[in-house]
Homo-oligomer: A and B are copies of this chain.
Amino acid sequence: MNNNDKISPAVIRRLPKYYRYLGELTKMGLNKTSSRELSEMTGFSASQIRQDLNNFGGFGQQGFGYDVENLRNEIARILGLDKKYKIIIIGAGNIGQAIANYTGFYEADYEVVALFDKNPKLIGMSMRNALIKDIDELEEFLNVENIDIAVICTPKSVSQQVAEQLVQCGIRAIWNFAPKDLKMPDYVHVENVHLNESLFSLTYYYNQMNKKKSE
């Protein structure tokens, strides 16, 4: 268990997938699995799966495999899915509202406690249990509440400025949906969801396929 070494981001991005497939195995009533079986499900090689898991410890049993529930719990613990997280969303437009209403976060205990916007038409509305507040109240709010994660769903023109304000108020984890790369100090982690970049690469591959077809 070398918890102190830096784990490659590629490994971290595979963990949620293992976690998801282990959940499916549980649902199917299976309590034992192997790197070979996980390989078939995920498409990653069995060797890679064993390498990945052994970054965090030996969760398997030689000659036997892995206990599904145990391995799932271990991955949950590694990712931190065994804890509660309070989230705020900045920008209550299309994307902000969609995230607020998104039910796909059930795996862990994520709670959207508030949204912030500057549009008076939106302020005062509520999404699920979260109220849309005036962006001017953001700092005051952050001084009182203990927020773990901030989601940026503003237009890109203000995203950098909003991010800086968040960091000044103590936020250290940002989930960024604005199509812009935020310049942030090292102690802030930014996870980007760049929808346009995703769509552009899909477009590239779509055209590649059409090219091949017409050859």
Contacts and interface: CB of A to CB of B under 8 A. Distances in A.
B16 A194 contact: yes
Interface in A152-177: 172-173, 175
* Interface of A, helix, strand, loop or mixed by DSSP: helix
Contacts of A97: 94, 98
Specify which of A17, A80, A148 lies most central, judged by the most chain B CB atoms within 10 Å of its CB. A80
A200 B199 CA distance: 22
This chain's copy number in the assembly: 2
Interface string A1-35: 00000000100110111011000000000000000
A198 B193 contact: yes
A101 B108 contact: no
A188 to B, nearest CB: 8
Interface residues of A, number: 55
B105 A201 contact: no
B95 A196 contact: no
Interface stretch (A45-53, A114-122, A130-138, A204-212): A204-212
B81 A201 contact: no
Instruction: Please name the 10 residue pairs, one residue from A and one from B, whose CB atoms are nearest each other, closest first.
Output: A98-B98, A191-B202, A173-B206, A16-B197, A80-B207, A94-B98, A189-B205, A16-B200, A94-B101, A80-B203
